[in-house]
Amino acid sequence: MSVATAGRLESTAAAWSLPWLAQRLQRSLLHIAVIGLTLVWIIPTLGLLISSFRPSTQILTTGWWTAVSPPLQFTLQNYQDMLSQSNMGTAIFNSFMVSIPSTVIPVTIAAFAAYAFAWMKFPFRDWIFLAFVGLLAVPLQLTFVPVLSFFVAHGIVPDNLTSLGLPPWIGLWLAHAGYGLPFSTYLLANFFRQLPSDLFESAEIDGAGTLTVFFRIVLPLSVPALASLIIFQFLWVWNDLLVALIYVGGSVEVAPLTVNLANLTNSLGQGYQLLTAAAFFSMVIPLAVFLSLQRYFVRGILAGSVKG
Amino acid sequence: MASVTYDHVVKRYTADVTVVKDFLVGPSGCGKSTALRMLAGLEAITEGQIRIGDRVVNNVAAKDRDIAMVFQSYALYPHMSVYDNMAFPLQMAHMPKTEIDKRVKNASRILGLDNFLKRKPRALSGGQRQRVALGRAIVRSPKVFLLDEPLSNLDAKLRGQTRIELQKLHRDLETTFIYVTHDQVEAMTMGDRIAIMNAGILQQVGTPGDIYDHPANLFVAGFIGSPTMNFVPVTTSDSTAKASGFDVKLPKSVPAGKATLGFRPETLTDRIGDQHNAIDMSVDVVERLGSDQFLYGQVGSDSVTARVDPKMKVEPGDKVRLGLDTRSLHLFDAETELAQF
């Protein structure tokens, strides 16, 4: 595998020669383009961040870019108001209570399922896989009525669950797990299939059972795929408003951050300054998740396993 | 040493393929690897019996066959250190930690891996990876080692070196090695016994010397030896064979008819004595290798190769008189391709 050594165009041309200049120029253009794109993406975020620290009077009268020149007027008031006023604490807690299980459940199930689809032999395997992946094409909205009526009929609704002493979000977890599974399984099965078959055979001869192979070989080698999947699923659940509203409703005790955020703007821009703080806050969590997992996106994790 | 028996083993795919034993050699795609994988328990067999020692292992799981396999690709676990790679099969057998440590340390000493135990496979060279793969097999002290073209991913220099190390290892461990290769040099130099396969069918089993001197059929004769044996179509009558460019007296009488006469390049030389038949050859190509000189050319209408003294002065286009040693002739039936002697 040459993945580890590929990349990086090292110039062998002599300094200031024509090919050297051409290569330099090419690389500078690339850098300029990358930096430019990054700026385009980052400016709105920066605007939001700055706005969230500005007094509400300023936010409403001038643009955020005026704040970076003196006189500097920054305040934590927005964050204080946001956290105290509008049940933000509960909402943040709820968001975690929704997002973490709604990520862990589908990714776990998908990993087991994908291993079976990729490496175990059973009748109709490919057809079942096809049917499973075909669910990717089913629009989410189509499922609301049947799933919700099923939940209601079987008491999987927040009020009932709370009275039973269970977390009110179980229905939402199941729904998110269901929505996430087809894609997760598809992505992981494709990744697992790429693992060299010699590894599995070697492990078989070494005496490892199916579960041992899964936990000791497949999972450690699939960290990049699992990390990206966790990020996808977490972001989707964290930013989701519609599914949460449908299955748990908008009541303060159970509603996640997104529902709360939507409520802040209800009265025609009145809570604009609170919205900036709340919006930035709601971005920080997914960003932290991404940054903490991004180091696993190292390429060439398989390098050195097979071939010389 | 444990014996391994392939008793009329058949593996059926769409077409019938019959398979095989010590050193398997044959061209690519002939079923060597399949034979090895069946012994390892990675492929089911259709018919027959595979025995390791006296035990029939047809329905024994791979891990319980008391074998270890070295894969062509090495199949090291990339996320584990060299130590963990070698310890893995022992952990799977629930061996106590101290025993695992002893065995891994012992194997790493034998293979010269002591300084690399903490490294991951990606930080090793091809040769080192290969030794880790060997180490993973050694720690289990299995009855039989299976090696599937273990040298094919190494460069030529390392291959020669590893070949010698493997032979030493084989001697030290006193265990049966079954070694699959398509390289006849590896087979000839390392094998105690060689099994030659072609198109899924075992052609011949024997010691390297046996196979070289008494090939069972045309395929084996052509496969072993470099440059390859000369094959000349002849017409036989009693104990004479008549080719397009020469006649030769055969050591015994054969039925009259068509056949293929085989003789190795080293039997066609510039020495002409009592046991030699004089042959006139027009030379097309001359290859000087220092220790040897090979002549490629025509005798009558047949192409042949001769190995002559390196000091003999020959140029392409020359006509030379050479001597064919009649003591090491081979005759193959034109139909069945089986050796008649």
Three state DSSP letters for B141-174: CCCEEEEECCCCCCCHHHHHHHHHHHHHHHHHHC
CA distances in angstroms from A198 to A147, B15, B327, listed in the order given: 43, 25, 49
Which residues from chain B sit within 8 angstroms of residue A204, using beta carbons?
Answer: 41-42, 62-63
Reported as a single tens digit per residue, the pLDDT across A285-300 is 888 888 887 777 655 3
Integer Cα distance of B325 and B341 in angstroms: 15
pLDDT in the model for residue B133: 92
Residue that has been written with the tokens 């193959």 in this structure = B332
Q: What is the mean pLDDT of each run of 10 residues along chain B (341 residues)?
A: 68 40 58 83 81 83 88 90 93 92 91 90 88 90 87 83 85 84 84 82 85 90 89 89 87 86 91 81 91 91 91 89 88 87 79
Which of A119, A201, A205 is best to mutate for the B interface (most B CBs within 10 A)?
A205
A265 Cβ neighbours under 8 A, 6+ residues apart: A271, A272, A275
Cα(B223)–Cα(A53) distance, integer angstroms: 82
Is A306 in contact with B75 (Cβ distance < 8 A)? yes
Q: Tokens at residue A246, please?
A: 């449908």
Residue A4 is predicted with a pLDDT of 40
DSSP category for residue A217: I
Across the interface, of B69, B77, B153, the residue whose CB is closest to A307 is B153
Prediction ipTM score:
0.77
Confirm or reject CATH 1.10.3720.10 for domain A81-297, answering yes or no: yes
B194 neighbors B211 (Cβ within 8 angstroms): yes
Give the pLDDT confidence of A63-104 residue by residue, as tens digits.
777 777 777 778 887 887 777 766 777 888 888 999 999 999
Q: What angle do CA B250, B253, B259 make, to 5 degrees?
A: 70
Query: What's the pLDDT at B105?
Result: 92
d(C-alpha B70, C-alpha B130), whole Å:
8
Nearest-CA distance from A183 to chain B in Å?
26
Whether the full predicted model's pTM is greater than 0.80, yes or no, is no
Ordered DSSP codes for A161-212: HHHTTS-TTHHHHHHHHHHHHHHHHHHHHHHHHHS-HHHHHHHHHHT--HHH
Q: What is the DSSP letter of A218?
A: I
Using a CB-CB distance cutoff of 8 angstroms, which residues of chain A are in contact with residue B41?
Answer: 204-205
The count of C-alpha atoms lying within 13 angstroms of the C-alpha of A45, restricted to the half-sphere facing its C-beta, is: 10
Check if the beta carbon of residue A285 is closer than 8 Å to that of residue A94: no
CA distance A10 to chain B (A): 22
Q: How many other CB atoms are there within 10 angstroms of residue A45's CB atom?
A: 12
- DSSP structural state of residue B99: H
- How much of chain A exceeds pLDDT 90, in percent? 26
CB atoms within 10 A of CB B190: 21
CA-CA-CA-CA dihedral for A76, A82, A84, A88, to nearest 10: -130
Kindly identify which residue of chain A lies nearest to residue B148, measuring between CA atoms: A198
Does A265 have pLDDT greater than 70? no
Pick A304's closest partner by Cβ from B92, B122, B153: B122
Domains, in order of start, for chain B? 4-223 (3.40.50.300), 230-333 (2.40.50.140)
Asked if the Cβ–Cβ distance from B73 to A221 is below 8 Å, we say no
The answer to whether A199 contacts B154, with C-beta atoms less than 8 Å apart, is no
Instruction: Enter the tokens of residue B34.
Output: 């399949």
Contact A196 B74 (CB under 8 A): no
Contacts of B77 in chain A (CB under 8 A): 199, 202-203, 217, 305
- Strand B176-181 versus strand B144-148 pairing type: parallel
Residue B235 sits at φ, ψ, to 5 deg, of -110, 125
Structure tokens at B1: 């040493």
Q: At what angle do helices A223-239 and A170-194 cross, to 10 degrees?
A: 150
